[in-house]
Amino acid sequence: MWFSLTHSPPDMTVRLTFLLIFTGLTGIDSITTVSKVSVRAGGSITVPCLYEPHYKNHVKYLCQGSALEFCSYLVKTNKPSSSGKFVISDDKTQRVFAVTINDLTEEDTGYYWCGVKMNYGPDSGTRFHLSVNKGESYLYVDEQMMTGFSGEEITIDYHYYNAGDMKWCRLGSSCVTWPNGSLDNSTVTMKVIDSRDLTVTLSGLRTESSGWYLCVKGDLQMPVHITVTEKQQQSVSGSYESFLIPLSLLIIFATVNLFICFMYKRQEQTILESSATTTAEGEVRYVRTSSDEVEAEDEDVTNSNMP
């Protein structure tokens, strides 16, 4: 069915125009990220940005500003930052590009955009707010990058200073509300340790559990990346190392013993050769002495027979 904005009612034209502009500027259903994060001054934050498959080969970037069309570029996938303050990486397999901001100061507080360059038309992007505090951040985690083993469990430690309901979500997927539930065939258990600490435990991990997750409390989120590996691969590697170290020691020990035996045999042979040489020289001297005596006796006999 064809229609024209020029033949539409005025209010419909305004609505459609607004919808097109808003969709192009904010990237509705195209990029998924956090909405608000809080970080302590001097720290760093990594924010994941999940994008649609058709953005796979597009340039991604992080920019700062209230509106996408007027924001200032900070780092792009085709032009990495040389300062080290901003880092960007693109995992095209998982369709996630991650932006990291280091050495945060209070001046870094503001709105940022996960953006994708479009070949035609306005860029696509989703905005999030970063709050940098001198004291403790309102929701933070000890480690943003975690590793677990298939079939086992992993616990993430969070600290909070804000109120609000809590839930655990997979980026771009479903959520588990307090206090427990199931997510991607893994059991999620959330516990409050005290008034400022809580834990999230994922049990029955699978390799498919690898990815970005969000701890949500009130209006804040804190992303965490979990990598799940097969424990069998780790155990084989560990057994190989445990076998290699004793084998190396055994080789060194055998080499030292062979060297000692070689030196001992060589010394023993030197002693024997030295003894044989001494004995041979003694025998020669004895023969010469006997010969001299015989010759002397012959001379005495000859002399005695002379008139």
pLDDT in tens, 214-234: 999 999 999 999 999 998 754
Summarize the confidence of residues 152-177 as an average pLDDT: 92
- Position 29 scores a pLDDT of 46
Q: Please say if the pLDDT value at position 49 is more than 80.
A: yes
What pLDDT is recorded for position 231? Answer: 82
Within a 13 Å sphere around the CA of 43, how many CA atoms are in the beta-carbon half? 21
For residue 119, the model assigns a pLDDT of: 86
User: What distance in Å separates the CA atoms of residue 139 and residue 220, rounded to the nearest whole number?
Assistant: 7
Give domain 1-136's CATH superfamily.
Immunoglobulins (2.60.40.10)
For the stretch 108-126, pLDDT in tens is 999 999 999 998 889 999 9
Q: Compute the mean pLDDT over every residue in the chain, rounded to the nearest whole number.
A: 80
Choice among 37-51, 77-91, 242-256, 292-306 with the minimum mean pLDDT: 292-306
C-alpha–C-alpha distance, residues 172 and 6, integer Å: 37
State yes or no: pLDDT of 22 exceeds 80: no
**What confidence category does residue 241 fall into, taking pLDDT thresholds of 50, 70 and 90?**
low
Question: What mean pLDDT is predicted for residues 56-85?
Answer: 92
Q: What is the pLDDT of residue 53?
A: 94
pTM (predicted TM-score): 0.67
Measured distance CA(70)–CA(6) in Å, rounded: 29
Grouping H, G, I as helix, E, B as strand and the rest as coil, residue 134 is coil
Q: Are 294 and 302 in contact (CB under 8 A)?
A: no
Q: What percent of the chain has pLDDT over 90?
A: 54
Query: Residue 31 pLDDT more than 50?
Result: yes
- On the question of a common fold for 1-136 and 138-229, the answer reads yes
Residues 115 and 76: their CA atoms lie apart, in Å, by 9
Domain boundaries, the chain: 1-136, 138-229
Q: Does residue 84 or residue 265 have the better pLDDT?
A: 84
pLDDT at 244: 72
Give me the phi and psi of 182, to 5 degrees please: -120, 140
**For residue 14, pLDDT beyond 60:** no
The predicted structure's pLDDT at residue 238: 54
**pLDDT at res. 276:** 58
The 3-class SS string of the chain reads: CCCCHHHCCHHHHHHHHHHHHHHHHHCCCCEECCCEEEEECCCCEEEEEEECHHHCCCCEEEEECCCHHHCEEEEECCECCCCCCEEEEEECCCCEEEEEECCCCHHHCEEEEEEECCCCCCCEEEEEEEEEECCCCCEEECCCEEEEECCCCEEEEEEECCCCCEEEEECCCCEEECCEEEECCEEEEEEECCCCEEEEEEECCCHHHCEEEEEEECCEEEEEEEEEECHHHHHHHHHHHHHHHHHHHHHHHHHHHHHHHHHHHHHHHHHHHHHHHHHHHHHHHHHHHHHHHHHHHHHHHHHHHCC
**Topology of the domain covering 138-229:** Immunoglobulin-like (2.60.40)
307, pLDDT greater than 80: no
266-303 per-position pLDDT tens digit: 777 777 666 655 555 554 444 444 444 444 445 554 44
